[in-house]
Structure 1
Amino acid sequence: MDGGRRPGARVALGTAVVLGIVLVVVIAVRTPWDLLAEPPGGYTDPDPSAGLAAAQLDRAEAFAAALRPASLLSMALGLAASAVLGLTRLGGQLVHAVAAPLGGRWFVQVLLGVPALVLVGRLVTLPVSAYAETVRRGFGLSTRGWGLWLRDVAVSVAISAVLTALVVLVVLWLVRRAPRTWWAWAGGAAAALVVVGSFLYPVVIEPAFNSFEPLPAGELRTDLLALAEANGTPVQDVLVSDASRRTTALNAYVSGFGSTRRIVLYDTVLAELPDEGIESIVAHELGHVATDDVLTGTLMGALGAGAATALAGWLLGSTRLLRRAGAESPGDPRVVPLLLFLVAVGGLIATPVQNLVSRQIEERADLRALELTRDPEAFIAMQQQLARANLSDPDPPAAWHWFFGSHPTTAERIAMAQDWRLLEGTR
């Protein structure tokens, strides 16, 4: 031991620092910081109303005022529950107790303890989630019955519990096999998992929540396929998701790679947007494909996972921290609640950085949509319709947007389209 640290902890910290520096460099290089040249007369100041009617603005603000406190409370409760379980002996005792009837072997503790911990964390926040669902239903945004809502919660918890248990099982197996270098092997495995997950998500996770049907042959389908070809990113199919079972919100996305790449439209989009608006929103999503944004995100995620795992190797090398959690070593199953708490804290710290990068990437996709469709009026109308349907605050508080905003605000996106139109008019 050295200063309360287990052997290999310093190497883990050094590796975390190096990978963190590499991640910062990748973010700096791969993030599109400067996108649109300044038009004559300067950039357009975003209109806080985004051109929406006063009644719509009042409704969006009322919705946000009802939902934002719930979001903060849910985050605080989840983190507090994770801290109580991870920084005291309670979590370790729970992991041990649920496995005791089956003999209590270490892998049984992991396979049963992780789902128990995930379930406890979800139950703590469940009342707040139910309140948030009530708000969405009251504002007409959610169309789910309570039975479907509970089914979605159960499926989400089950998927999270199973995947987390498998990952933690591999980590503890590595810890027990290679006590000094487990974090290096686990970091590589975590990075690989991020990559594999990016490919499997559209074919494994998405169907657990929605059904998909091909968009019938017609002018819209032909135009969307042609748009993908013009973008240099042909797709295999155009699908319609039965999103209206759950929401009135509008959305579309492109998922998959190669033979699994497809355009997916919410059925609400088909019902609410004109064809030119649908083409504009799909062009935005195709913009992500053209610039390999998913691959960039996967690379950043893999580096982040590697750095985080190395940092965990350093933190779990602290005998004091292990004693606080009631664990004898990093390979003791009673360390699992502490590990999950560290993951939760890391995710919280990373959120504003992830969203900063995301906002820049989304702005580049907006620009790509304008270049593909050459129709700023349709883009602006589409953004306004999205804001109306999704009850988006077009100009949220700066601090909230800095931390939680993964996209530019509606006001910013419309201002950018107006600047693009001015620049095109001068060429």
Structure 2
Amino acid sequence: MSGAGGMNARRAALLAAVVLGAAVVVVIVVVPPWTLLPEPAGGRTPVDPGAVLPPELLERAESFAAALRPASLTSLLLGLAVSAVLGLTRLGARLVRAVAAPFGGEWVPQVLLGTAAVIVVGRLVTLPVSAYAEAVRHRYGLSTRGWGLWLRDVAVSTAISAVVTALALMSFLWLVRRAPRTWWAWASAAAAGFVVVGSFLYPVVIEPAFNRFEPLPAGELRARLLDLAEENGTPVQDVLVSDASRRTTALNAYVSGFGSTRRIVVYDTTLEQLPPDGVASIVAHELGHVVHRDVLTGTLIGALGAAVAVALSGWLLSWTPLLRRVGARSTADPAVVPLVLFLLSVGGLLSTPVQNLVSRQVETRADLRALELTGDAEAFVAMQRQLAATNLNDPDPPEAWHWFFGSHPTAAQRIAFARDWQLLEDAG
């Protein structure tokens, strides 16, 4: 791409990125719930982290968080540094060409094997930190995985990531070759579609790679959960139990799938440690996500975000000095693969606090739906305390950390919200 045509194409890509970015902002402002409850007559319930856990458990949760946060941050920064070294120097291009050389060094092996190699190198570099984090989870009783199963999980997740990313980048670079000036427009649409398709396929393709599922036996609890789904207006096809205890002691439940594939999934640990009212409360929260179409909203934001990222890449990857720096002959050269992966890493990091801001609001709306469905604030509060105790959730994380990485409100915030809901119910 060169001359006036190339410059116009770069400007068009940048303009498209700006317009799509504005669409993302509009969706974020309009769709998530920013106000859920009016203020009770006596004022809002104070957020009290000390009321979530007894002192000995609170100290243990804070100790666990203090041991794990440095590992999480180190892994993030180390992965980003490796990605930068490979993506912003000629080392990445050399790696891409080297792994494809035994297979003739053709275009397809360079893209597929080069992508896989970059991902595997990044995973290997951060593996010691991940092992340390797993050891911390073992020490605090949150992980029940043996090291063999842990390595198997790492290998499977890395393989899935490598295959999916390699296929996506091969499609991306194929479009670059087919439409040198307008590839970014086609690729933006393809990226958005890829996010949508992935959202639908995840529960039926990815979930079974890590867990086994069995139907919850017929009985009062199963009937109650199915009734909750009916009352919510979102009937499900089945209630399944996941063998989560093979890996963790943490408690959780979720609703996955769409239409004929929609099902409630409850961790076996949840059934073992929560009373029926607590299980119903946590499932009602997940059903809240379904009735408010939170997965579809997240998919829409993700699809628009992917389109923004690709349009921006159309601007950046058409900049000749950048291509020359990384050793790529053109935008279609497989040598750009490490650079693309680095740009994706940076984009993901920069978008994290925005995604989590939206997520916290969406989670609070699901809490409200759980309270409305069950009508039982005390069961909700007890469930939140049990989750915090079992999962060792820090009820009072550093403000900056929670702002950047917190995808859910803290247990203290959720309990205060439930108390406010009860006050309004009593007043009404």
Fold conserved (TM > 0.5)?
Answer: yes
- Partner of residue 212, structure 1: 213
1:8 is paired with a residue of what secondary structure? helix
Query: How well do the aligned residues superpose, as a CA RMSD in angstroms?
Result: 1.1
Matched, 1:149 2:150: yes
* Alignment-mate amino acid for residue 320 of structure 1: P
* Alignment-mate amino acid for residue 353 of structure 1: V
Output aligned runs, 1:315-354, within 5 Å.
315-354=316-355
* Alignment-mate amino acid for residue 313 of structure 2: A
Deviations 1:155-194 (A, max 9, x none): 0000000000000000000001101111111110110011
How many pairs does the alignment contain?
A: 427
Output aligned runs, 1:8-407, within 5 Å.
8-407=9-408
2:51 is paired with a residue of what secondary structure? coil
* Distance in 1 between residues matched to 2:82 and 2:71, nearest whole Å: 16
- Structure 1 pair 93–49 and aligned structure 2 pair: CA distance change class (3 A): same
* Distance in 1 between residues matched to 2:340 and 2:353, nearest whole Å: 22
* Distance in 2 between residues matched to 1:307 and 1:146, nearest whole Å: 40
1:51 Cα deviation after fit: 3.1
| Contact 1:186 1:309 (8 Å CA) reproduced | yes
**Percent identity (aligned):** 73
| Contact 2:52 2:395 (8 Å CA) reproduced | no
Q: TM-score, normalised by structure 1?
A: 0.99
Deviations 1:298-350 (A, max 9, x none): 11111111111000100101111111111011100000000000000000000
* Distance in 1 between residues matched to 2:14 and 2:344, nearest whole Å: 16
1:83 Cα deviation after fit: 0.1
* Distance in 2 between residues matched to 1:208 and 1:49, nearest whole Å: 39
* Distance in 2 between residues matched to 1:149 and 1:142, nearest whole Å: 10
* Alignment-mate amino acid for residue 287 of structure 1: G
* Distance in 2 between residues matched to 1:260 and 1:122, nearest whole Å: 32
1:45 Cα deviation after fit: 1.2
- Structure 1 pair 121–89 and aligned structure 2 pair: CA distance change class (3 A): same
* Distance in 1 between residues matched to 2:302 and 2:171, nearest whole Å: 19
* Alignment-mate amino acid for residue 240 of structure 2: L
| Contact 2:377 2:418 (8 Å CA) reproduced | yes
* Distance in 2 between residues matched to 1:412 and 1:309, nearest whole Å: 37
Deviations 1:4-28 (A, max 9, x none): 9755111000000000001100111
1:273 Cα deviation after fit: 0.1
* Alignment-mate amino acid for residue 375 of structure 2: R
* Alignment-mate amino acid for residue 12 of structure 1: A
* Distance in 1 between residues matched to 2:283 and 2:54, nearest whole Å: 26
1:242 Cα deviation after fit: 0.2
| Contact 2:281 2:383 (8 Å CA) reproduced | yes
* Distance in 1 between residues matched to 2:405 and 2:354, nearest whole Å: 10
| Contact 1:239 1:263 (8 Å CA) reproduced | yes
1:31 is paired with a residue of what secondary structure? coil
* 126-135 vs 38-47, greater mean Cα deviation: 38-47
* Distance in 2 between residues matched to 1:337 and 1:211, nearest whole Å: 35
* Alignment-mate amino acid for residue 86 of structure 2: L
* Ranges in structure 2 where 5+ consecutive residues have no aligned partner: none
| Contact 2:6 2:181 (8 Å CA) reproduced | no
- Structure 1 pair 322–5 and aligned structure 2 pair: CA distance change class (3 A): farther
- Partner of residue 416, structure 2: 415
* Alignment-mate amino acid for residue 160 of structure 2: I
Deviations 1:47-89 (A, max 9, x none): 0223310000000000000000000000000000000000000
Deviations 1:89-131 (A, max 9, x none): 0001000011111111111101111111110000010000000
